[in-house]
Structure 1
Amino acid sequence: MHLRSSYRYAGVLGGLLRQRYQYSGFRQFRWYSRWRKETLPRGDGKNNSGRLDIPFEAHYKIRSHIEMLIQDYAKKPIPPITYQYLTQYKPPLQNNEQYMLSIQTVNLLLCYTCRQLQAIQNLPYIVVLNPNIELTNSLYLSTLETLLSVDYPYGLHHRDTMVSLLTNFLEEHQDTLTTLAAGFQEVMKFYDHEHVFRFLNLHLRNRISMKMLVTHHLGLLEQTDRFHQGITSNDIGVLYKDLKISSLVEQVGEFVNDLCSISYDRNVPVKIMEGHDVTFTCIPTSLEYVLTEVLKNSLRAHIEHSNSENLLTQKPVEVTIVRNDNELQIRIRDFGGGIPPAVEEKMFDYSYSTVAEKKNDTGAEAYILPGENVNNVSGMGFGLPMCKAYMEMFDGRLDIQSLWGWGTDVYIKLTGPSKEML
């Protein structure tokens, strides 16, 4: 579906926003939220006797309307995030542009939030009963309540309202995946692994899109403020124009070597063979995540296969950077022995990792996203699959060629926005 036609439902102000006022489920949800805040300051949902202060019939009606609202928004089509979407508005934003961007962002977040809630509700009852998974469900319900509590449509005119809304979203969802991962670890023996990974795959991809929408919106507002202060910027939201790729590679190499120092007490040099001066327009946080995952694997292979004869810790991992118009290619070559054939077949499977699971490992490292802290050098079973997802999000690719017994070449191919978009 074409981007412009896909956003008609978000661009027509009278449609969804008026519908949200008229929809009985929305009114019930607003009333229920107000009742909770006025009568339940602790947010526990009960009175002093431990019972709900609301008749069963009314409570059932409210829940039914909320579920109808969730199902309604979960079914709405969501166009993929593209460079065309990210560059439709450029800093400095005019007032009407900020307003239209707010409409798009809030509507998309509503749809994504309802999809996340519906996916959780569709899990088996024994899974949803898990405290950590129930906590995740409650967080998304809270997000839904916050999005619906905005004073439509006029609240979207206020910049501070949007900044507060989006900033709180990032803060509240910072640890969502850690909680969800802990919950699924506790219920894995009761639930089919394939279904778990399918759910997590969809959940993570939706979460990536949600965080990118929020970060992009906040970035545009911040860049607009800097413009009015006389400060120019190369950014367009999350996009950075003419990023020096070698500098990012060096930064990531230093970071991964810090992780190696903590885990192995050893370092491996990272050498840029070609492309020191190449610049490219891309999303730095996404590329940083991919580079981090690939270099983690390469440096770990050098360290774990190093001995007194090959001295692999002294042999650098080689990085070659090449640009051709709006296409960037990065080759990362290591000499760590390659990937065993049995492992190579599963390296893009979610949850698969060659790293032995630690007894005290919560599994949270497998779900790290760009901009979040990485506290372990290995054990990220979602690493390569998520790298592939990031690359494919903007028509890029991640290819791996391994020669067992020798080493591995990883090819990162990015497609950037056209010059007309910038």
Structure 2
Amino acid sequence: MAAKKKLQESFSKFLIEEVRRWSMMRQTGVSLKYMMDFGSRPSERNLLLSAQFLHKELPIRIARRAVELENLPYGLSLKHAVLTVRDWYLDSFRDLRSFPEIKDSKDELAFTQMINKIKVRHNNVVPAMAMGIKQLKNDLGRKVEPGDLPEIHQFLDRFYLSRIGIRMLIGQHVALHEPNPSPGQVGQIWTNLSPIEVAKNAAEDARSICLREYGSAPEVQIYGDPNFTFPYVPTHLHLMVFELVKNSLRAVAEMFINSDKEAPPVRIIVADGIEDVTIKISDEGGGIPRSGLPRIFTYLYSTANTALDEHSTADEVTMAGYGYGLPISRLYARYFGGDLQIISMEGYGTDAYLHLSRLGDSQEPLP
């Protein structure tokens, strides 16, 4: 009951009713292509239209998540970490709803600064929610199997997918104000992104973490056309490739740690199809048993010993975190119409297939 009381104490009855009303409104999805076309002309008028759209759209998306955070099963809504996240969402909703109508470029600039603060406020949502899930698992006091708690998995998929969308919309609007964008840069989107370049950078970052954890790191070999480019968000692509390469390096490093044989390389292959750009990441790290495959996309399971506490932040990248890398990477892929598949040969290795839609015209999937 204390948590419910806290909600009434911290937030006015009017605000709570307002949140419930806005959570019933219809969301409006946008496509990568639309963001690109719209943002390629960041005129005062376009920035004003964008701000007016966000002024109405963001409260709807944030209200939906705030209401869900209030009504989670197994007492998850009452966990301290989840209450903190809920309060961030309610604060952000209040900030957006109390912002007056946006009529000119002065209003638009003030609105842009405000939504950027909202984005920063929500930086640590993922580790905070992971902390809440960890508290729930401790309370259940039993081993949680992959098929357990399906409602929690479905909620987290919706919640994180929505978070990707909210951060993309805010980040895109804020980035359109950058004074000197690089050639081909439209806000957060690069119209001529080289997947080979992103793969190189992601592989270097993953290898440096592997070196730190294991004292050595397998080689990463990259194959594909170095001149091929397509429109995509580099931060999203880096996050996904980094996660997959990191997992492969870890599997190989652990398999060969006490071996006198040289560790085999991890291979990245970039294929340029008509519909999809596909990035395959292959390793010879022993693979995953078939019984373990259902676990890899769950939020309640991690093979790593996680050192997660109240003070963990999103910036603390470790070799194996709180088991969220794969499910969240798959959501990033799906956000713009792609997907992520893992195929494993136990006793040999694993292939990850990252499919990215190169048409850019699929709508955001709105939970």
Q: What is the alpha-carbon distance in structure 1 between the residues aligned to residue 355 and residue 254 of structure 2?
A: 28
Aligned partner of 1:379: which letter? G
RMSD: 2.7
Q: Give the C-alpha shift of residue 383 in structure 1.
A: 1.8
Unaligned runs of at least 5 residues, structure 2: 1-7, 141-147, 362-367
Report the CA distance shift for 1:77/1:364 in structure 2 as closer, same or farther (over 3 A): farther
Change (3 A) 1:380 1:176: closer
Name the structure 2 match of 1:180.
Answer: 129
Q: 1:363 to 1:258 in 2, by over 3 A?
A: farther
Counterpart position of 2:69: 120
Q: Answer whether contact 1:103 1:156 (CA < 8 A) is retained.
A: no
**2:362 aligned with 1:415:** no
Matched, 1:396 2:352: no
What residue number does 2:57 align with?
108
Partner of 1:361: 308
Is the CA contact (8 Å cut-off) linking 1:240 and 1:283 kept in structure 2? Answer: yes
Bigger Rg, which one = 1
Number of residue pairs matched by the alignment: 346
Task: Structure 1 unaligned segments of length 5 or more: list them.
Answer: 1-58
Matches of 1:364 and 1:195, distance apart in 2: 27
Q: Distance in 2 between matches of 1:152 and 1:248?
A: 40
What secondary structure, in the 3-state scheme, does the structure 1 residue paired with 2:321 have? coil
Q: 2 CA distance for matches of 1:362 and 1:257?
A: 25
Residue matched to 2:5:
none
2:153 partner letter:
F
Aligned counterparts of 2:293 and 2:182: Cα–Cα separation in 1: 46
TM-score normalized by structure 2?
A: 0.85
Post-superposition offset of 1:338: 1.4
Alignment-mate amino acid for residue 110 of structure 2 = T
Does 2:207 match 1:263?
A: no
Q: TM-score, normalised by structure 1?
A: 0.74
Instruction: Give the 3-state SS of the residue equivalent to 2:243 in structure 1.
Output: helix
Write the distance in 1 (CA, Å) between the matches of 2:267 and 2:31: 31
Q: What SS class does the counterpart of residue 154 from structure 1 fall into? A: coil
**1:219 and 2:175 matched:** yes
CA shift, 1:317, in A, is 0.8
Structure 1 partner of 2:240: 290
Letter in 1 for 2:238: E
Write the distance in 2 (CA, Å) between the matches of 1:119 and 1:261: 41
Structure 1 residues 157 and 91, CA gap change in structure 2 (3 angstroms): farther
Query: Structure 1 residues 81 and 374, CA, compared in 2 at 3 Å: closer, same or farther?
Result: farther
User: Residue 143 of structure 2 corresponds to which residue in structure 1?
Assistant: none
Q: Counterparts in 2 of 1:18-417, with a 5 A limit?
A: 63-123=12-72, 126-154=75-103, 158-190=107-139, 193-222=149-178, 225-226=179-180, 233-306=183-256, 307-312=258-263, 315-325=264-274, 327-355=276-304, 357-358=305-306, 360-362=307-309, 373-417=315-359
Query: Hey, what does 2:4 align to over in structure 1?
Result: none
CA deviation vs aligned residue, 1:67-97 (integer Å, no higher than 9, x gap): 3211121111213342243134133422221
Contact 2:249 2:266 in 1 (8 A): yes
**By how many angstroms is 1:364 displaced?**
8.7
**Deviation at residue 334 of structure 1 after TM alignment:** 0.8
Residue by residue over 1:80-133, the C-alpha shift from the partner in whole angstroms, topping out at 9 and shown as x without a partner, is 342243134133422221111011112221011101210122136954443332
| Cα distance in 2 between the residues matched to 1:124 and 1:274 | 47
- 2:61–2:166 Cα contact (<8 Å) kept: yes
- For residue 73 of structure 1, what is the amino acid of its counterpart? W
More moved, 315-324 vs 153-162: 153-162
Higher RCO, Cα 8 Å, sep 6+? 2
Equivalent residues of 1:275, 1:320 under 8 A apart: no
Deviation at 1:193, TM superposition (A): 4.0
Deviation at 1:388, TM superposition (A): 1.6
Q: Distance in 2 between matches of 1:215 and 1:65?
A: 30
SS at match of 2:277: strand
Which residue type is aligned with residue 308 of structure 2? D
Structure 2 counterpart of 1:264, one-letter code: Y
CA distance in 2, matches of 1:363, 1:406: 38
Measured in 1, the distance between the counterparts of 2:192 and 2:311 equals: 33
Specify whether residues 333 and 188 from structure 1 end up closer, same or farther in structure 2 by C-alpha distance, changes over 3 A only.
closer
Q: Is the 8 A contact 2:99 2:111 kept in 1?
A: no
CA distance in 1, matches of 2:159, 2:206: 27
Contact 2:344 2:350 in 1 (8 A): yes
Correspondence for 1:21 = none
The alpha carbon displacement at 1:232 in A equals 5.4
Percent sequence identity over aligned pairs: 23
2: CA distance, partners of 1:277 / 1:334: 25
After TM superposition, the structure 1 stretch with the greater mean CA deviation from structure 2, 377-386 or 139-148, is 377-386
Q: 1:187 to 1:352 in 2, by over 3 A?
A: closer
Matches of 1:343 and 1:98, distance apart in 2: 48
Write the mapping of 1:6-17 to structure 2, written as runs, cut at 5 A. Answer: none
CA deviation after TM superposition for structure 1 residue 379, in Å: 3.4
The 8 Å contact of residues 165 and 335 in structure 2, kept in 1 or not, is answered as no
Amino acid at match of 1:378: A
Structure 2: distance between partners of 1:397 and 1:135: 31
